[in-house]
Chains A and B, each alone.
Chain A
Amino acid sequence: MTTLPIESQKTSRIRITLNGEEVDVAFAPYKTLLELLREDLGHTGTKHGCELGECGACAVLLDGKPVLSCLVLALECDRRNVLTVEGLASDGRLHPLQDAFADLGAAQCGYCTPGILVTAKALLDQIPNPNRDQIREALSGNLCRCTGYLQIFEAVEAAILKIAEQKKSAT
């Protein structure tokens, strides 16, 4: 089989909400959500470490749930909501998870960080006040080779307090 030039392969078309913004995109139908994000939509914040669903670096939120974007076909995402690391900050301010990760050493090389941040966000959206074991469990599919995970746990815990404070001052 001979591969056609990529432009002529862009025969599939979907509409997704990417980080709150509606986008239409044409792409080659074999592409994974990871490839769609990085190659067709210029969102390189999402990383890849294996493209086999083993490392967790490519995690994004699909309709609020963490998925490994290397294992999701882009075609499955039509009319769905995708959140990546680029969509965590809002109104020009970092998400409390991002602030805490930056302040507390939770990102060293930073390569697993985008996947861990969105996975942690999904956890906090579901369980606003998880304990250490729940945090460990939620992040157990995201490999990090730098930190030994402890500063990541601490950053998630610091963000929990910050989010609670923000909610309190908002009411």
Chain B
Amino acid sequence: MPIQKDMPDPPVEDSRTNKKELRVIGVPRRRVDARAKVTGQTRYADDIALPRMAYCKLLRSPHPHARIQKIDTSRAMAHPGVYLALTGKNLPIEYGILPVSQDEQALCVDHVRHVGDPIAAVIAREELTAFEALDLIDVEYEILTTISDPEEALATPEPRIHEYGEEGNIHKRVSLEFGDVEAGFSEADEVFEDTFFYQGSTHLPIEQHASVAIKDPDGKLTIWSSTQTPHYLHRALAKVLEMPPAHIRVIATPNGGGFGGKSDPFNHEIVVAKAALLLDRPVKICLTREEVFYCHRGRHPVLMKFKTGVKKDGTITAMHLQTLIDGGAYGSYGVASTFYTGALQTTTYHIPRYRFCGCRTFTNKPPCGPKRGHGTVQPRFGQEVQLDKIAEKLKIDPADLRLRIAESPNVVTANYLRLGTVGLAECVRRVVEKSGWKDKFRKLPEGRGVGLACSAYLTGAGLPIYWNKMPHSGVQLKLDRGGGVTVFCGATEIGQGSDDVLAGIVAEVLGLDTFDIRLFTGDTDLGPVDLGSYSSRVTIMAGNAALQAAERAKALLAEAVGQRLEVPKERLSFAQKRVFDSAAPEKSVTFQEAVCLAEARFGTIGTVGSYTPPKSPALYKGGGVGPSPTYSYSAAIVEVMVNPVTGWITVPTIWIAHDIGRALNPTLVRGQIEGSVYMGLGEALMEEQEFRRLPKRLSHALVHKFPSMLEYKSPTSLDMPEVVTELIEEPDPHGPFGAKEVGQGPLLPIMPAVANAVYDAVGVRIDEVPITPEKIVKALAEKKGGRAPRFGPSHFPLVDWPEALRVPPPWEGGDGNAVNDVPHRGKSSIEKEKVLGS
């Protein structure tokens, strides 16, 4: 396809503002992939069946921490119907999502680090045969001490779970100080210190991970997989298989739910790829639900301590946040997660001086990683609950307090995040009005209460996971003489509606319907790169790339049509599948005719678009995590009913306002908000990735309490409250048509709002998530006994923090660099890699 590069970029102002009437954008509509989904025709990874396909099963460690002494697959290989058995020595090269955490092997070579760590693979004619043959693999283990939580990890440097990291079983420690925090505390009228614990939870997508790999007829490799990040899987495969990336094709099948759980390159993906190459036949794997729990990469359990100084009027003078993070057995996104537990505190309220210390430890549990809200959910819970306590002590209504201290738009924060539009105050005002807050807060009868909380979230990570200066997303557009428009883009459909975003933007610009647009997405061969469906980045990044490609195509068509109709091209409008003179609409051609005219003049029509986020002012080491082109804002009010005897919590209604910039498809936006509210409510009330130690006589191993959907409680249709959703639409100049993110942000205020509502209802603080009836009953007993009416962690352990990098905030003359570190800009790309995250 010839690519037009020489055409000047057309002005895009009218697409990004409200100046012209929009026909597709902003109109609630059927998403482009809806018909496939309601007819059962969407082809998920496990729906793929190919001739001669073999099946793969993985043998997983039954021990949380052990050395592999011996592994023998000869009996399995001899089993009829078995084609191949693989062990770690077949795939020894380490990989991992972050350049700094290349700590996984597709099959463990000599060290298993959690129950479920894969150590061997069997590929057989039938899935059942492969499963049977797993029992025929002989493994001898030397059991090692199990490290079950961060405090144990701090106290137990040996045996090390990994040979890299800070020291012992500490994976990552960070310490950053923006301004003189102690001076800030001394200026405060009140200083609050609170500890919180946020339990881990898992994504629980209904689709189990599945992959199918083939050796193409020409000898190259193709893999279909339920992945949110085909580009990063592509890189990991090239590394581990030692193949040129150009000879590997990754196709992300539509994900049956992701939520962050399919964002890492996974061992099973690499194993089936290797097996397909060796066997020269298709190889498939579909994980069982239990195995999905072992893949995990879910919410990190985080212990937090907040120290916050405030003036009598609520103005924050300083904040010091410490986080202790349970990383599980591998790095995954953990270095980024660690920074994220401290990165976004400054985005909601003005914090002039801020110190953040974070520590991630390795433990012998399935690795934690990015779950919806990645690393920012836990500290947001602590911050918003503490703010509720502050408001009470200062005798200020919590909504009024937030309105007073809400951060302003278009500022650079103490930690050098550049904010775009900030709809936080409007979000607060809207939920206060809709919920009747003023008549309810501290006024409802005992056992009923309301709570308010707010949040902000990234609209796409400002930096890629590996250091490079290339675009984060690209779109190619092909227009053919039949009037067809085809979008090629690496963006991955995980249910969030990324295909519909692309189709909607292109249709709007070219005056078509979304049904007229054909899409090829999530394919590393067919489309230009998109980094993946994570960090709420697709709408702004792939969306802006699509907008640019479509505007360029429109310019070519306008040039050709203007000449034919003898109308200045600026006067042409594209709408209803026609191109017409806006001054004399009877002068027009059909869209198809327009393409033919353009093709006759310029040759076959193809355009490209791409997007690179703006440069961040955060130049200090660690400043790569947190920057985003712009941030979304949310506020939620939750009403609860709490039974004072049983502690049972019922949630009748949640009001939520979300600052979306602009809703590209309001039906999908509402779905993302309600889905976030649902998932947040699950975390608030019941979801727990819990472990227990087996009795000593049974190996004392650390095992999942709930590796099944039945026991891992998640809300059902009976638990879902009424949700009143309000959209705040003030277009942000960074977003396509002004759009900001919606996939993750609305989850964040739910958990603290529930905690604050429980306090309003029965006067006890649950400084922990999940907020269960048992904890409420315990806190009520404390209250009755005249002790602190609270349930939550009592202490934050001593961590040997490194010397803080001192970065003066912009208002203290800072330039974004640390004063006690060499300026970061200009460092080698390898060193830069170390500070990047998702």
CA distance A88 to B125 in the complex (A): 34
User: Which residues between 51 and 100 of chain A lie within 8 Å of chain B, taking CB atoms?
Assistant: 51-52, 54-55, 57, 84-86, 88-89, 94, 97-99
Smallest distance from the beta carbon of B599 to chain A beta carbons, Å? Answer: 34
In the complex, what residues of B have CB within 8 A of residue A147's CB?
671, 674-675, 678
In the complex, what residues of B have CB within 8 A of residue A52's CB?
289, 708-710
Q: A105-B31, A137-B717, A139-B717 are in contact. List 18 more A-B contacts (CB 8 A).
A: A2-B81, A39-B49, A47-B206, A49-B256, A85-B38, A94-B39, A98-B39, A105-B668, A108-B668, A109-B255, A111-B206, A135-B717, A143-B206, A143-B714, A145-B675, A147-B674, A148-B677, A149-B720
List 29 A-B residue pairs with CB atoms under 8 Å apart, sorted by A's residue number. A3-B126, A3-B128, A44-B40, A44-B43, A47-B256, A49-B256, A50-B208, A50-B708, A52-B709, A55-B709, A86-B39, A98-B38, A101-B38, A102-B30, A102-B38, A104-B667, A105-B667, A109-B206, A109-B258, A110-B256, A113-B37, A135-B717, A143-B206, A145-B205, A145-B259, A147-B674, A148-B671, A149-B720, A151-B671
CA distance A94 to B706 in the complex (A): 39
A102 & B35 in contact (Cβ 8 Å cutoff):
yes
CA distance A57 to B708 in the complex (A): 15
Smallest distance from the beta carbon of A103 to chain B beta carbons, Å? Answer: 5
Q: Which of the residues B128, B288, B497, B718 comes within 8 Å of A137, measured between beta carbons?
A: B718
With an 8 A cutoff between CB atoms, is B783 at the interface?
Answer: no
In the complex, what residues of A have CB within 8 A of residue B676's CB?
148
B207 & A49 in contact (Cβ 8 Å cutoff):
yes
Interface size on B, residues (CB 8 A): 63
Given contacts A3-B132, A49-B208, A54-B708, contact A101 B34 (CB under 8 A): yes
In the complex, what residues of B have CB within 8 A of residue A101's CB?
34, 37-38
B671 & A146 in contact (Cβ 8 Å cutoff):
yes
With an 8 A cutoff between CB atoms, is B670 at the interface?
Answer: yes
A113 & B38 in contact (Cβ 8 Å cutoff):
yes
B207 & A108 in contact (Cβ 8 Å cutoff):
no
B671 & A145 in contact (Cβ 8 Å cutoff):
no
- The 7 tightest CB contacts between A and B, nearest first, are A45-B40, A109-B495, A111-B256, A110-B37, A148-B678, A102-B34, A148-B674
With an 8 A cutoff between CB atoms, is A170 at the interface?
Answer: no
B670 & A151 in contact (Cβ 8 Å cutoff):
yes
Smallest distance from the beta carbon of B717 to chain A beta carbons, Å? Answer: 5
A110 & B36 in contact (Cβ 8 Å cutoff):
yes
B497 & A108 in contact (Cβ 8 Å cutoff):
yes
With an 8 A cutoff between CB atoms, is A112 at the interface?
Answer: yes
CA distance A146 to B678 in the complex (A): 8
CA distance A77 to B36 in the complex (A): 28
B39 & A140 in contact (Cβ 8 Å cutoff):
no
With an 8 A cutoff between CB atoms, is B831 at the interface?
Answer: no
With an 8 A cutoff between CB atoms, is B79 at the interface?
Answer: yes
With an 8 A cutoff between CB atoms, is B679 at the interface?
Answer: yes
In the complex, what residues of B have CB within 8 A of residue A153's CB?
717
In the complex, what residues of A have CB within 8 A of residue B36's CB?
110
The B interface is mostly helix, strand or loop, or mixed, namely: loop
A109 & B718 in contact (Cβ 8 Å cutoff):
no
Q: Fill in one digit per residue for B119-155: 1 if any A CB lies within 8 Å of its CB, else 0.
A: 0000001101100100000000000000000000000
Given contacts A55-B709, A109-B205, A140-B718, contact A150 B34 (CB under 8 A): no
In the complex, what residues of B have CB within 8 A of residue A45's CB?
39-41
Please indicate which of the listed interface residues B37, B128, B720 has the most CB atoms of chain A within 10 Å of its own CB.
B37
B708 & A5 in contact (Cβ 8 Å cutoff):
no
Given contacts A47-B206, A110-B495, contact A143 B716 (CB under 8 A): yes
In the complex, what residues of A have CB within 8 A of residue B496's CB?
108
In the complex, what residues of A have CB within 8 A of residue B205's CB?
109, 111, 145
Chain B residues close to A by CB (< 8 Å): 30-31, 33-44, 46-47, 49, 79-81, 125-126, 128-129, 132, 203-208, 254-259, 288-289, 494-497, 667-668, 670-671, 674-679, 708-710, 714, 716-718, 720, 722-723
CA distance A3 to B203 in the complex (A): 35
Smallest distance from the beta carbon of B705 to chain A beta carbons, Å? Answer: 16
A51 & B259 in contact (Cβ 8 Å cutoff):
no
With an 8 A cutoff between CB atoms, is A13 at the interface?
Answer: no
With an 8 A cutoff between CB atoms, is A32 at the interface?
Answer: no
Q: Which of the residues B81, B257, B675, B723 comes within 8 Å of A3, measured between beta carbons?
A: B81
A145 & B206 in contact (Cβ 8 Å cutoff):
yes
CA distance A150 to B495 in the complex (A): 16
A54 & B718 in contact (Cβ 8 Å cutoff):
no
In the complex, what residues of B have CB within 8 A of residue A146's CB?
257, 495, 671, 675
Please indicate which of the listed interface residues B33, B36, B670 has the most CB atoms of chain A within 10 Å of its own CB.
B670
Given contacts A102-B35, A137-B718, contact A109 B494 (CB under 8 A): yes
Smallest distance from the beta carbon of A145 to chain B beta carbons, Å? Answer: 5
A112 & B31 in contact (Cβ 8 Å cutoff):
no
CA distance A52 to B718 in the complex (A): 21
In the complex, what residues of A have CB within 8 A of residue B710's CB?
52, 54
Please indicate which of the listed interface residues A111, A113, A148, A152 has the most CB atoms of chain B within 10 Å of its own CB.
A148
A142 & B40 in contact (Cβ 8 Å cutoff):
no
CA distance A159 to B483 in the complex (A): 35
A145 & B718 in contact (Cβ 8 Å cutoff):
no
CA distance A89 to B40 in the complex (A): 11
B708 & A47 in contact (Cβ 8 Å cutoff):
no
Smallest distance from the beta carbon of B281 to chain A beta carbons, Å? Answer: 15
Q: Which residue of A lies closest to B29 (CB)?
A: A103
Please indicate which of the listed interface residues B35, B36, B38, B259 has the most CB atoms of chain A within 10 Å of its own CB.
B38
Please indicate which of the listed interface residues B206, B677, B716 has the most CB atoms of chain A within 10 Å of its own CB.
B206
Q: Which of the residues A3, A55, A103 comes within 8 Å of B30, measured between beta carbons?
A: A103
Q: Which residue of B lies closest to A109 (CB)?
A: B495
In the complex, what residues of B have CB within 8 A of residue A47's CB?
44, 206-207, 256
In the complex, what residues of B have CB within 8 A of residue A117's CB?
38
CA distance A86 to B39 in the complex (A): 6
CA distance A50 to B286 in the complex (A): 11
A111 & B44 in contact (Cβ 8 Å cutoff):
yes
B718 & A136 in contact (Cβ 8 Å cutoff):
yes
In the complex, what residues of A have CB within 8 A of residue B203's CB?
145
CA distance A108 to B495 in the complex (A): 5
Q: Which of the residues B37, B44, B126 comes within 8 Å of A102, measured between beta carbons?
A: B37
